[in-house]
């Protein structure tokens, strides 16, 4: 399953010239914690989050090292610049952590966990925003029915990834537990197939009863 299959394509965005007041209202009205910031061509420029706006409201934390501390800590200098922000482009976080629409949802899950974020803007090769994928989207993907999971394994893994003939592998799924049966030519394919099936969203475990004709 790819990111484009799980993402939300209808995304509320703001432009860098949007006032912080208007961005805050949109966050409240839409009940979201962050908004993608795009230019006139739809290219992603950054993210404006509740944290960015709260930083502006709170003011800077006590700086260490005096007025030249930014020479040692560029991040502190960037934060100080946000204190005078009036529009989104002056307060947003950039660069944004993104993912491509063709990436597997497992890659999106790993990136969210590694970077500690709840959502990822989805961008195409030009950097244009095409959607957004959230942790809730990934949970919904994991909660799919056994029939949907089995179909993904048959089509995406057995046929499109492994290039095995249709019907060569029997796929059964019961409460997320996958059983693979069949006879294929190569041992390496028989060993790889269960590993790929285990990465399909909704799979809890994989039990392989595959046999093969040749070791290499």
Q: Which structure tokens are listed for 127?
A: 């950097």
Ordered by start, the domain boundaries in the chain are: 3-142, 146-214
What is the topology classification, in CATH, of domain 146-214? Answer: 3.30.1340
In whole angstroms, give the CA distance from residue 44 to residue 65. 34
Beta-carbon neighbour count of residue 168 at 10 Å?
A: 14
Q: What residue spans of the chain are helical by DSSP H?
A: 3-6, 20-30, 50-58, 74-82, 88-91, 105-115, 135-142, 146-152, 187-197
Q: Is 113 exposed, middle or buried (0-12, 13-18, 19+ CB in 10 A)?
A: exposed
Question: pLDDT digits over 89-116, tens only?
Answer: 888 988 999 999 999 898 999 999 999 9
Q: Which residue has the tokens 């095409």?
A: 130
Q: Is 57 exposed, middle or buried (0-12, 13-18, 19+ CB in 10 A)?
A: exposed
Q: Do domains 3-142 and 146-214 have the same CATH topology?
A: no
Question: pLDDT digits over 170-211, tens only?
Answer: 999 999 999 999 999 999 999 999 999 999 999 999 999 999
Q: What separation, in Å, do the N-terminal and C-terminal C-alpha atoms of the chain show? A: 29
Instruction: Over range 115-124, report the average pLDDT.
Output: 92
The reported pTM is: 0.74
Is the predicted pLDDT of residue 62 greater than 70, yes or no?
Answer: no
From residue 5, give the alpha-carbon distance in Å to each of 35, 138, 152.
Answer: 21, 10, 12
pLDDT at residue 52 in the model: 84
- CATH class, domain 3-142, is alpha beta
Mean pLDDT lowest for which of 60-64, 99-103, 136-140, 188-192? 60-64
Confidence class of residue 163 from pLDDT cuts 50, 70 and 90? very high
Residue 59 CA from chain centroid, whole number: 31
pLDDT at residue 68 in the model: 47
Residue 100 CA from chain centroid, whole number: 8
Could you tell me which residues come within 8 angstroms of residue 106 by beta carbon, excluding any fewer than 6 positions away? 199, 201
Q: Which structure tokens are listed for 115?
A: 């970077």
pLDDT at residue 72 in the model: 45
In whole angstroms, give the CA distance from residue 166 to residue 4. 25
In whole angstroms, give the CA distance from residue 188 to residue 23. 53
Question: pLDDT digits over 6-55, tens only?
Answer: 999 999 999 999 998 999 999 999 988 889 999 999 999 999 988 888 87
Helices 105-115 and 135-142: crossing angle in degrees, nearest 10, is 140
The C-alpha angle with vertex 102 and arms to 48 and 171, in degrees rounded to 5, equals 130
pLDDT at residue 11 in the model: 93
């Amino acid at each position: 399953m790819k990111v484009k299959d799980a993402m939300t394509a209808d995304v509320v965005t703001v432009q860098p010239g949007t006032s912080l007041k208007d961005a805050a209202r949109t966050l409240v009205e839409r009940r979201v914690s962050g908004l993608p910031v795009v230019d006139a061509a739809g290219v992603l420029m950054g993210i404006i989050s509740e944290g960015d706006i709260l930083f502006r409201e709170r003011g800077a934390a006590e700086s260490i090292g005096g007025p030249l501390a930014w020479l040692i800590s560029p991040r502190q200098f960037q934060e100080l610049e946000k204190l005078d922000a009036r529009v989104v482009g002056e307060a947003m976080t950039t660069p944004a952590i993104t993912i491509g629409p063709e990436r597997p949802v497992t890659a999106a899950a790993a990136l969210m966990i590694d970077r500690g974020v709840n959502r990822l803007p989805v961008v195409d090769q030009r950097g244009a925003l095409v959607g957004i994928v959230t942790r809730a989207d990934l949970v919904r993907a994991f909660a799919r029915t056994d029939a949907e999971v089995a179909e993904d394994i048959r089509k995406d893994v057995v046929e499109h990834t492994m290039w095995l003939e249709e019907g060569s592998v029997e796929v059964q799924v019961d409460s997320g537990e996958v059983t693979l049966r069949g006879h294929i030519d190569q041992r390496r394919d028989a060993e790889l197939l269960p590993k790929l099936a285990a990465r399909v969203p909704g799979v809890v475990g994989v039990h392989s009863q595959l046999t093969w004709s040749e070791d290499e």
